[in-house]
Amino acid sequence: MKNIFLILALLFLVETAQAQLFSKERLANLENFDKQRWSWGYFLGFNNYDFKFDYINETGEPDIAVEANGGFNVGLIGDLRINEYFNLRLEPGLYYTERNLIYPGFEEERDFLRETKSTYIHIPLLLKISTKRLNNFKPFIVGGVSTSINLTSDETNPEDNNVGRFRMTKNTYYYELGFGIDFYLFFFKFTPSIRGVFAMSDELVRDNDPNSPYTSNIDKLSSRGVFINFTFQ
């Protein structure tokens, strides 16, 4: 699913950029848009989250398989212009995703399957570095740090995997890297972008039993994901 998202988004960016580059239309839309000190907008998009496991005892085979399902994003944008090429952005949003963990060695689904449905309030602070505007589009790269609040973490719930509940921490910290293209349309600026997100903190809440087959061999559990956002300003 992640590969499909990436391929579709890349094709869209390439096709749209080619249309802008080779179009005979040279009228500049929203000529003064980037001269504003502040600008605002919103975004809609898709996400594909995965897990990265670090094990205490490496066996050569992954202890846990991850089945990642796509999710959706929605949020707001606040953009501070630093100069012609640099912008500082705050993009708080609501992100919903679902991942299934499959533990080999169990026979019944209630034992080998753990569903982790997560609803995040995700708050990134990003530095956007743009090229010079070309006709009605402007490519850019973006990077920064972020934090999220997992509203469905069950961090303080006393129940654990013994009753089928996989627990995660409520707060997580990430770094982010991505790229995109600003398209200046007649009435607004439209921006498709792709961003990779990588958790820096351990998100696992371990089971009460120190010998639990679900958490005892996990040294660190961290999320990683791909965001495809469509921004309107």
pLDDT tens for 175-219 read: 999 999 999 998 999 999 999 999 999 999 999 999 999 999 999
Name the band, by pLDDT with cuts 50, 70 and 90, for residue 95. Answer: very high
pLDDT, tens digit, 9 for 90 and up, residues 139-161: 999 999 999 999 999 899 999 99
Domain-embedded: residue 72? yes
* SS3 call for 126: strand
How far apart CA 177 and CA 161 sit, in angstroms, is 34
> How high is the mean pLDDT of the chain?
87
Look up the CATH number of the domain holding residue 224: 2.40.160.20
How far apart CA 23 and CA 112 sit, in angstroms, is 55
What pLDDT is recorded for position 183? 95
Name the band, by pLDDT with cuts 50, 70 and 90, for residue 13. Answer: low
Measured at the CA of 164, the angle between CA 115 and CA 119, to 5 degrees, comes to 40
Beta bridge partners of 9: none
Query: How many CA atoms within 13 Å lie on the side-chain side of 175?
Result: 3
What pLDDT is recorded for position 125? 97
Domain-embedded: residue 26? no
Q: What is the mean pLDDT of residues 165-171?
A: 94
Q: What is the mean pLDDT of residues 34-43?
A: 92
Percentage of the chain lying above the pLDDT 70 cut? 87
> Could you give the dihedral angle defined by the CA atoms of residues 6, 28, 231 and 194, in that order, rounded to the nearest 10 degrees?
20
Domain-embedded: residue 178? yes
Q: What is the mean pLDDT of residues 105-111?
A: 82
> Do the strands 93-102 and 137-150 form a parallel or antiparallel pair, or are they unpaired?
unpaired
Domain-embedded: residue 28? no
Name the band, by pLDDT with cuts 50, 70 and 90, for residue 2. Answer: very low
Q: Examine the pLDDT at 71 and tell me if it is beyond 90.
A: yes
Domain-embedded: residue 33? no
Kindly report the number of other CB atoms within 10 A of residue 77's CB atom: 20
The secondary element (H helix, E strand) that includes residue 10 is helix 2-22
The model's pTM: 0.83
Report residue 211: phi and psi, to 5°: -105, 20
Question: Count of domains in the chain?
Answer: 1
Q: Which of 157, 68, 164 is nearest to 114 (CA)?
A: 164
More confident residue, 64 or 27: 64
Domain-embedded: residue 150? yes
Percentage of the chain lying above the pLDDT 90 cut? 65
Domain-embedded: residue 30? no
Range of the domain at 52: 2-21+38-232
